[in-house]
Amino acid sequence: MIEFSSDYNEGAHPRLIAKLVETNMVQTFGYGSDAYCDEAADIIRNLCGQKDLDVHFIVGGTLTNLISISACLRPHQGVISPTNGHIHVQETGSIEATGHKILTIPSKNGKITAAQIDEYCEEYLNNEGIVHLVQPKLVYITHPTELGTLYTRAEMLAISDVCKKRNLYLYVDGARLGYGLVAEGNDTDLKLITECCDIFYIGGGKQGALFGEAVVIKDKAIASDFRPIMKQRGGLLSKGRLLGIQFSELFKDDLYFEISRHANNMASLIRECLKKMGIEFFVENTTNLLFPILPDEMHDELSKQYSLTYYKRWDKTSSVIRIATSWATLEQNVMKFIRDLEEYACA
């Protein structure tokens, strides 16, 4: 079975593995207070173009989201999220388990707009019974989104502006940030995201690391007590250096972006093939997640050799299927998949 079901089907990029092997018996203090984490944080601050940033490393996206979001909120405050936001539909109520409501805004292609956020706040403020409403305080977006789409520089700046106007924090879930930043047509970068956000994270677990997300905090109030909150939620890894070692390596020699490009290229090969075959897509994007609408028969046939993710029913005879490539996707597997697709088309 060849895996296209997700971007975490393998271990870590060999260079990270090598570094873990190399440093294995070095002695360090725990909980992220070590030279490797310091180094990784410095590299990230540099890439983000700001010196005064707190950087923390956490194992896993759900843990990162629940710690980051709850750290931003007072008890009666909630987080604005697209209706298809990962925190809303895929994390078993992890945000609510910290006591906070998710305030949803309908998403289009996985994205929401500055205007929608502004309107939400306007309605909140105009409500006569405002004390009965959850106060919006934080905006959560993913970049790229769950659907592999991207915010443009203009869109992100507009969202950031409306957040500042409405006294909202902006948090970007960058679980697949690398795949987004090197995607064709993307005009955002780490410096822009740092400029726009109060807090965001750079994903490692889906992008070359065994695990690990790097949380970047610009806002001083959020930064001030982030570490004890990490610990309280079980997010302070005792051998924290494992995260520092991996992120240091990931950001050396442009590795993070190079392997992201590979994933996108692999996805492009499949995308082009499917398009040539006349397959339509649920959503257009240029990153590593494809959402073709496949005839059920075709999906069944492919599923014999390839692990794909069922996304949702499209019509009586076809469904939206998610195909994921990653830094680890072998070109030979993609080529085989394409050959099988073409064969299927001819049959």
Restricting to residues 308-327, which ones interact with a copy of itself according to CB under 8 A?
A: 309-310
Q: The tokens of 247 are what? A: 């992120």
The Cα 47–Cα 59 span in angstroms is 21
Neighbours of 158 (CB within 10 A): 18
Contact between 82 and a copy of itself by CB under 8 A: the answer reads no
In angstroms, give the least distance from the CB of 37 to a copy of itself: 14
93 counts as binding a copy of itself under rule CB under 8 A: yes
Interacting positions 206-265 with a copy of itself (CB under 8 A):
206, 210-211, 225, 227-229, 231-239, 242
Query: CA–CA separation, 33 vs 29, rounded Å?
Result: 6
Q: x/- contact string, 153-192, with a copy of itself (CB under 8 A)?
A: ----------------------------------------
91 binds a copy of itself (CB under 8 A): yes
Shortest distance (Å) from residue 196 CB to a copy of itself: 25
Separation CA 71–CA 62 (nearest Å): 14
Binding mask 29-48 for a copy of itself (x = CB under 8 A): xxx-----------------
For residue 210, give the DSSP letter: S
Strands 318-324 and 309-315: antiparallel
CB of 324 to a copy of itself, least distance (A): 11
Which CB, 5 or 265, lies closer to a copy of itself?
Answer: 5
Q: Is 205 in the site for a copy of itself (CB under 8 A)?
A: yes
Cβ-based nearer residue to a copy of itself, 54 or 155: 54
Which residue type sits at 182? V
Number of residues that bind a copy of itself (CB under 8 A): 81
Site for a copy of itself in 120-139 (CB under 8 A): 128-135
Q: Dihedral sign, CA of 290, 296, 298, 303?
A: positive
Among 25, 52, 185, 332, binds a copy of itself (CB under 8 A): 25
* Listed ranges 100-108, 112-120, 190-198, 265-273: which one lies at the site for a copy of itself (CB under 8 A): 100-108
Alpha helices in the chain (DSSP H): 14-22, 35-48, 61-72, 86-89, 114-126, 153-165, 177-181, 190-196, 220-224, 226-232, 241-250, 255-276, 296-302, 331-346
CB-count exposure of residue 93 (10 Å: 0-12, 13-18, 19+): exposed
